[in-house]
Structure 1
Amino acid sequence: MPCELNPQYAIVQFSLQANVNTSNPSSAPQLQLVFVFVSGTCMIEEKLEFVKSAMKQVIGLLPEHALVGFGSFGTQA
């Protein structure tokens, strides 16, 4: 079973491998940093406040040039 379908894993990281010409490394494509956060919203208010606080801290640590996306879902995912 792929790890993203296993409930044991809370975080799944995907990475893109670029084919780099070793004789000319400057020709390598420049990859943009992209972070996508997904969270459920069906939780008690105290836990939701903790999630929001943690998200604010994490976003504050990201590089300025990074792209950030956020998705949320309720009872129907």
Structure 2
Amino acid sequence: MLSTSVVLSFLLLFPRIDITTCGNGLMAAKAGTVTQISSSKIVIGEREYLVTPKEVKAEHCPFFPSKIAGRK
């Protein structure tokens, strides 16, 4: 009984870890194999997906430190 209590108390020493990142995640709608990637399209199996570039000025991510011009 004492050993069980010691083991469970030891496991409580490790904090829960939450990993967060900037941006959205992607989920697959159905299974497939990527057969070709270019700057204008991605081919998965026989289906082509057009890629439209998105202009994003990621000056600062709130989760990671960065240097911002003008700050002291």
TM value normalised by structure 1 = 0.23
The structure where helix makes up a greater share of residues is 1
TM value normalised by structure 2 = 0.24
Structure ID, larger Rg? 2
